[in-house]
Chains A and B, each alone.
Chain A
């Protein structure tokens, strides 16, 4: 139950549920996999993406148009959700959406590092997070990484970035800066969560996501056999791994697979793990983690109808839709067959 004036889940959930009904169905995905990129753009124009396709249609074409329209629509929808929500609900949603801010900061820093043009950086941003347009414009106008760090002073990324900047100056690699951004994001993600059963389920979901991300990274490292310290890529906050276990397990693929198979996630990931042993393909495992998260998200949406969980469930479903359409468009561009593309989609 919400307190008067502090949070408004009823309003947000009603709007979000209506939007959820407009997401593409399995049937529509099947149609999309049989279209060429221009046809996909036209199909999108007749649905929720109309405004974005029209706005970007004169500047971009083909698969780029689809990609930018998807990003713009995702950003618009998530910004709207943040506009609608108040109080505790806003706090809970913005925790998750800050990952777009983190991504944007990284994009800007990388852009400056590689001397990319302002337009090139701007088209790659997804303006779905907490940063307002003014802050983003200032970031885009920044001419050096030092200026970016200065602009972000006062945001949650300010202090960690300032600390990491010294290390960057010494080594001239971006890793310390990017790690600082990630750490600032993940610290805020799980810190000081309010009480309540819906929030606990949300927390469980966030932890599962961190666990899966760690597992993906560890598997990649273990398979590549590269001489990288796994602890560098460790994300704190999950239940499955701690820094030492991850560092140990990332050296031995078999042991890692066994460890995951013995964990709480065995039911969801079991088949994918067996496939990993047989076919030695990481794609199946990454798909299994994605599907497990999406299934969990769907369940989240129904257990506590008037809380933050249906909103998060929609955010996940929307992200998935954007990724699916992008996979279809890119697959078509690369000349894959409909069956191959369908294998790449994550649909529940």
Chain B
């Protein structure tokens, strides 16, 4: 599978084209990172709401912990600026 992809890449290169545009790749990187952050926040958010239901004082802590995975998206955004 990888070999075929490689060959495909070579063919594409030989014709002077690229398999995927740099901008598209950067967009993909950010998009996947955002998806991962969303998945991580799902679990944390559920736990945070559960903890808040028991004790209202945990609202601030819960909120901070819930948005922590958002940092992955910010780091991924760096890619957009360096390509």
Tell me whether A and B are bound partners. yes
Q: Which residue of B lies closest to A12 (CB)?
A: B50
For residue A8, CB closer than 8 A to chain B, the reply is: yes
Interface of A, helix, strand, loop or mixed by DSSP? helix
Q: Which residue of A lies closest to B39 (CB)?
A: A4
For residue B49, CB closer than 8 A to chain A, the reply is: yes
In the bound complex, do residue A10 and residue B54 qualify as a contact, i.e. CB atoms below 8 Å apart?
no
A1-21 CB mask vs B (1 if < 8 Å, else 0) is 000100010111111011100
Greatest chain A CB density within 10 A among B47, B48, B49, B54 is at: B47
Q: Please indicate the chain B residues that have their CB under 8 angstroms from the CB of A53 in the complex.
A: none
In the bound complex, do residue A11 and residue B46 qualify as a contact, i.e. CB atoms below 8 Å apart?
yes
For residue B55, CB closer than 8 A to chain A, the reply is: yes
In the bound complex, do residue B49 and residue A11 qualify as a contact, i.e. CB atoms below 8 Å apart?
yes
Nearest CB of A to B31, in Å: 19
Interface members, chain A 166-210 (any B CB < 8 Å): none
In the bound complex, do residue B50 and residue A14 qualify as a contact, i.e. CB atoms below 8 Å apart?
yes
| Contacts known (A4-B42, A306-B43); A11 close to B54, Cβ less than 8 A | no
In the bound complex, do residue B53 and residue A10 qualify as a contact, i.e. CB atoms below 8 Å apart?
no
In the bound complex, do residue A13 and residue B54 qualify as a contact, i.e. CB atoms below 8 Å apart?
no
* A14 vs B55: C-alpha distance when bound (angstroms): 11
Q: Please indicate the chain A residues that have their CB under 8 angstroms from the CB of B47 in the complex.
A: 10-11, 13-14
Q: Which residue of A lies closest to B49 (CB)?
A: A11
In the bound complex, do residue A10 and residue B51 qualify as a contact, i.e. CB atoms below 8 Å apart?
no
In the bound complex, do residue B55 and residue A10 qualify as a contact, i.e. CB atoms below 8 Å apart?
no
Q: Please indicate the chain A residues that have their CB under 8 angstroms from the CB of B49 in the complex.
A: 11, 14
* A14 vs B42: C-alpha distance when bound (angstroms): 14
Greatest chain B CB density within 10 A among A4, A12, A15, A19 is at: A15
For residue B36, CB closer than 8 A to chain A, the reply is: no
Q: Please indicate the chain B residues that have their CB under 8 angstroms from the CB of A306 in the complex.
A: 43
In the bound complex, do residue B43 and residue A18 qualify as a contact, i.e. CB atoms below 8 Å apart?
no
Nearest CB of A to B77, in Å: 26
* A15 vs B47: C-alpha distance when bound (angstroms): 8
List 15 extra interface pairs beyond A11-B49, A14-B51, A18-B54, CB under 8 A. A8-B46, A10-B46, A10-B50, A11-B50, A13-B47, A13-B50, A14-B46, A14-B47, A14-B50, A15-B50, A17-B51, A18-B50, A18-B55, A19-B54, A306-B43
B residues whose Cβ falls under 8 Å from a Cβ of A:
42-44, 46-51, 53-55
Q: List 11 A-B contacts (CB under 8 A).
A: A10-B44, A10-B46, A11-B46, A11-B50, A13-B47, A14-B50, A14-B51, A14-B54, A15-B50, A15-B54, A18-B54
